[in-house]
Amino acid sequence: LAGGAALDEIVALVAAGRRFLCTAHAAPDGDALGSMMATALGLQRLGKEAVAWVTAPPPGALARLPFARTLAAAPPEGAFDAVLVHDCGDWRLVGEPFPPRERTGPVAVLDHHAAARPFGDLIYRCPEAAATGVLSARLLARLGVALDGEIGEAIFCALACDTGWFRYGNTDGEAMALAAKLVERGVEPARLARALEEEQPPERLVLLCRVLETLELHGEAPRRAALLVLTRAMLAESGAAREQADGFVNYARALAGVEVGALVSEEADGVRVSLRSKGGCDVAAIAQRFDGGGHRAAAGCSLPLPLAAAKQALLAALLEALAAPPRGGVS
Ligand SMILES: [Mn+2]
């Protein structure tokens, strides 16, 4: 079951059940973490047992947010009436140790990715939603849960992270109206912004300096590609953790004349690529060519190749996509 009918089914499932597991894609970003915590906290307000657990919990600032403090280290024993998976369109991204099928009950997915590998018994997928946090808010509204400050902060975090603090093309009226409502319920955007953006360790800046020196520009303005590279040696020299490079790709995208920014990160068994466009190039389609996925303006993939070969393959795909005339305009 998919779409709006799936939401009806998920509402019925949650209303009738007692014990739930809420999760998201492994190593969650702000939307994955915020949406799953909002749902879990909301179900708890209804007197239900709802455990929030995720493979590879978020690093640093996200994990320190108050609404994330009840994140479990492992999925609890016993059977669930349902498992609710957030912000994930690919089963391989959920991670282990996922409870065995005989314990999960129906697996319900709340997601806004244009999924390459859909999974789940009930799929509430809305690619037009700015964040999965929007879908959690809709679910909680249907269940009659009042949005308090704690749930509100989780949903606001989801909105802020996926819209780039309400700047990206997915920022719509529903996201803004929901954010306004959350502020009325006690969420302080400035406090969240400080916690998420202004608690950075100095090593991050050292790493950023190294990465920015690798800048390469290819193609013709206004549809150029900007490539940044992060090597394992840079990580070792800077003393920074890999996740501290989150967001570096935006420096590439932000350049004048550039349509797509890419960060190519060297890993033990290949590279990880982050792609960001200004909306005039579908980077999810490029990522899918390498078995990855994401959104039109933000996507990622992994290439099991040495750095130089991976860069070459990626650049060829990027230049091909950028040579094609833009469709659909800025989105
Ligand atoms: Mn998301």
**pLDDT tens digit sequence for 297-326:** 999 999 999 999 999 999 999 999 999 876
Ligand 1 center–CA 112 separation, angstroms: 6
Q: Which of 69, 86, 83 is nearest to 150 (CA)?
A: 69
Q: What pTM was estimated for this model as a whole?
A: 0.91
Say yes or no to pLDDT of 69 above 60. Answer: yes
Ligand 1 center–CA 93 separation, angstroms: 13
Q: How confident is the model at residue 117 (pLDDT cuts 50, 70, 90)?
A: confident
What percent of the residues of the chain are helix, what percent strand, and what percent coil, each to the nearest 5?
45, 20, 35
Say yes or no to pLDDT of 58 above 80. Answer: yes
Ligand 1 center–CA 148 separation, angstroms: 22
Distance of CA 284 to CAs 14, 221, 229, 244, Å?
32, 21, 20, 23
Ligand 1 center–CA 102 separation, angstroms: 28
Ligand 1 center–CA 97 separation, angstroms: 22
Instruction: Work out the percent of the chain whose per-residue pLDDT is above 70.
Output: 97
DSSP string, 107-133: EEEEE-S--SB--SSEEEE-TTSS-HH
Contact 93, 109 (CB under 8 A): no
Identify the pLDDT of residue 328. 53
Q: What is the mean pLDDT of residues 250-261?
A: 98
Say yes or no to pLDDT of 329 above 50. Answer: no
Out of 56-60, 207-211, 216-220, which region has the weakest mean confidence (pLDDT)? 56-60
Q: Which of 288, 287, 284, 286 is nearest to 296 (CA)?
A: 284
Q: Can you tell me the distance from the alpha carbon of 231 to that of 139, in angstroms, rounded to the nearest whole number? A: 42
Identify the pLDDT of residue 330. 46
Identify the pLDDT of residue 5. 87
Q: What is the mean pLDDT of residues 219-226?
A: 96
Ligand 1 center–CA 188 separation, angstroms: 21
Out of 43-52, 60-69, 128-137, 233-242, which region has the weakest mean confidence (pLDDT)? 60-69
Ligand 1 center–CA 156 separation, angstroms: 12
C-beta atoms surrounding 46 within 10 Å: 14
Ligand 1 center–CA 135 separation, angstroms: 10
Say yes or no to pLDDT of 57 above 80. Answer: yes
Ligand 1 center–CA 31 separation, angstroms: 5
Q: Can you tell me the distance from the alpha carbon of 62 to that of 232, in angstroms, rounded to the nearest whole number? A: 24
